[in-house]
């Protein structure tokens, strides 16, 4: 049974935070937002073509198992810290509490840029899938301009839905869980029972395919693991809505862990189902729709079946983007509450009627649209900007875990705790975060050209320079984790006179 709201609010007050948001989200809703953001029907589908060229079936399924397990360890470790600090700020608040303001500032900027890049990537991907559907249904050939227009409409829809309040967001996230799980069952079931040939188990579990230009199978397997690496992001959403969740010290960490293992299991079934049903490897990779899974649907089920399943995927992507907007807006609200963003006075305002940070919602709608505009001229430029998604968010998860480990016995866990397993799991989690972040930055094909260059490393470096530069120019002067910290600093200054 959930703890009374006033207990949650009292705990927030102990952390120096004045409760302002509407606490209408229960344990299932908290799990649902992270599950919706991970969204295997978005990541698994969008990156399916990448996986086919970067190792093929054996790497796609093998890395899904390994990366999913390692992500679960990171999630367990992060959940331990979230229980101690269940606030909308998520990783940056934890990092500040455990390591000081500079750690909090850098973590906050990495997390924020990652969230904004995620919205751009998710909703632009949904627009691309919508374009593929339009081509199948009406024969309309997608263009960069039409995709950008659809992308803008999707962002506008998500802004309106999130402005209505957390109750609607919670309802949509709950529907999203069932939509995704039933959707996976429907897709895999339809592809399985259709009267078409199926690939052998040997092909699905052992076939290696390499279009990267690199000769090392190990290296290809490393970069091929990014199908899973990019998909397993965003589970910090459970932390960002903690101030709107009942019994947050238990519900938020449980939401993180459950969202990972459920996505892990369902995603494996989805990928295996698609691989068993694939009819022609090369034709799937070079599909005229631009969406390899859509080609599998076409080959196995025909146009009508393909359109129906494509709609299932598109709706799941819309749910995913909507949940990401909710999480990112809470991050903007909290970071502004700490005076970290330019114009923070505006972004931290909460709507009196909906108890939602409405202005922060529109902040995270406009910025991703601007970030995606370079796609009109250069896919490489767009990829460089949205690459901050994983390379920003993943280190932001590892930093508070590392700082909690560094605290040693001085660290006080919350009600949800790993206990004696916290240190060994935490050490593995931090090491994994370092390794996967480096893998995110590796070249993904050769020869390396302007279009094929992996800009993730450059983007991460730019994000770190931005964080450090803004810390020197305004963070040291303005940043305060909470109003209570502001008061403490004022008192300390007065005592000095």
- Residues ≥6 apart with Cβ < 8 Å to 326: 33, 162, 166, 169, 173, 237, 240, 241
With beta carbons less than 8 A apart as the criterion, state whether 48 and 274 touch: yes
List, as one string, the DSSP characters of 120-141.
HHHHHHHHHHHHHHHHHHH-PP
In whole angstroms, what is the distance from residue 439 CA to residue 449 CA? 19
Which of 322, 304, 281, 294 is CA-nearest to residue 171? 322
| φ and ψ of 452, to 5 deg | -95, -10
Pair of tokens at residue 396: 């932001």
Longest dimension (CA), the chain: 84
Question: Rounded CA gap, 277 and 289, in Å?
Answer: 18
Closest C-alpha to 42, from 127, 161, 166, 152 = 127
Three-state SS across 422-459?
HHHHHHHHHHHHHHHHHHHCCCCCCCCCCCCCCCHHHH
CA separation for the pair 365, 358 (Å, rounded): 11
Please list the residues that pair with 245 across neighbouring strands: 25
Residue pointed to by tokens 């850098």 = 106
Indicate the DSSP class of residue 340: -
Q: What's the pTM value of the predicted model, to 2 decimals? A: 0.93
d(CA 23, CA 167): 9
HSE, CB side, 13 Å, CA atoms: give it for residue 223: 24
d(CA 156, CA 167): 19
Q: pLDDT of the chain along its 497 residues, tens only?
A: 444 466 899 999 999 999 999 999 999 999 999 999 999 998 888 899 999 999 999 999 999 999 999 999 999 999 999 999 999 999 999 999 999 999 999 999 999 999 999 999 999 989 988 988 898 889 888 888 999 999 999 999 999 999 999 999 999 999 999 999 999 999 999 999 997 899 999 999 999 999 999 999 999 999 999 999 999 999 999 999 999 999 999 999 999 999 999 999 999 999 999 999 999 999 999 988 888 999 999 999 999 999 999 999 999 999 999 999 999 999 999 999 999 999 999 999 999 999 999 999 999 999 999 989 988 887 776 777 777 888 999 999 999 999 999 999 999 999 999 999 999 999 999 999 999 999 999 999 999 887 788 888 988 999 999 999 999 999 999 999 986 554 444 343 333 32
């Amino acid at each position: 049974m959930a703890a009374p709201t006033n207990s949650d609010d009292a705990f927030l007050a102990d952390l120096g935070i004045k409760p302002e948001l509407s606490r209408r989200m229960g344990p299932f809703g908290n799990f649902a937002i992270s599950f919706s953001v991970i969204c295997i029907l978005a990541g698994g589908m969008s990156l399916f073509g990448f996986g086919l060229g970067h190792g093929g079936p054996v790497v796609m399924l093998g890395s899904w198992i390994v990366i999913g397990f390692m992500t679960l360890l990171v999630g367990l470790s992060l959940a331990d810290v979230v229980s101690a600090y269940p606030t909308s700020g998520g990783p940056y608040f934890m990092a500040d509490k455990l390591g000081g303001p500079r750690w909090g500032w850098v973590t906050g900027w990495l997390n924020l840029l990652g969230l904004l890049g995620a919205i751009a990537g998710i909703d632009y991907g949904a627009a691309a899938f919508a374009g593929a559907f339009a081509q199948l249904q009406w024969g309309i050939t997608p263009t960069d301009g039409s995709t950008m227009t659809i992308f803008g409409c999707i962002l506008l829809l998500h802004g309106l839905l999130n402005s209505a309040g957390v109750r609607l967001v919670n309802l949509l996230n709950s529907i999203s869980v069932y939509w995704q799980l039933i959707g996976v069952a429907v897709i895999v079931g339809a592809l399985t029972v259709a009267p078409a040939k199926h690939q052998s188990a040997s092909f699905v579990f052992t076939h290696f395919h390499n279009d990267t230009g690199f000769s090392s199978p190990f290296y290809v397997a490393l970069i091929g693991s990014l199908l899973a690496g990019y998909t397993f992001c965003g589970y910090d959403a459970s932390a960002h809505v903690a101030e709107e969740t009942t019994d947050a010290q238990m519900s938020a960490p449980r939401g993180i862990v459950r969202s990972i293992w459920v996505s892990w299991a369902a995603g494996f079934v989805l990928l295996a189902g698609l691989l068993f049903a694939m009819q022609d490897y090369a034709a799937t990779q070079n599909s005229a729709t631009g969406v390899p899974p859509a080609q599998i649907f076409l080959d196995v089920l025909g146009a009508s079946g393909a359109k129906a399943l494509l709609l299932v995927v598109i709706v799941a992507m819309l749910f995913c983007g909507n949940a990401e907007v909710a999480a990112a807006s809470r991050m903007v609200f909290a970071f502004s509450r700490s005076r970290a963003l330019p114009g923070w006075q505006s972004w931290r305002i909460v709507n009196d009627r909906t108890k939602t940070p409405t202005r922060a919602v529109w902040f995270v709608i406009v910025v991703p649209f601007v970030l995606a505009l370079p796609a009109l001229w250069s896919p490489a430029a767009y990829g460089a900007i949205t690459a901050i998604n994983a390379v920003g968010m993943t280190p932001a998860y590892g930093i508070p875990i590392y700082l909690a480990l560094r605290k040693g016995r001085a660290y006080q866990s919350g009600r949800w705790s790993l206990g004696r397993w916290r240190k060994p799991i935490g050490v593995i989690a931090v090491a994994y975060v370092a390794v996967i972040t480096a893998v995110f930055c590796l070249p993904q094909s050769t020869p390396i050209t302007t279009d094929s260059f992996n800009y993730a490393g450059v983007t991460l470096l730019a994000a770190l320079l931005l964080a450090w530069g803004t810390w020197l120019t305004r963070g040291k002067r303005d940043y305060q984790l909470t109003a209570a910290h502001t008061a403490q600093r004022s008192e300390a200054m007065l005592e000095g006179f």
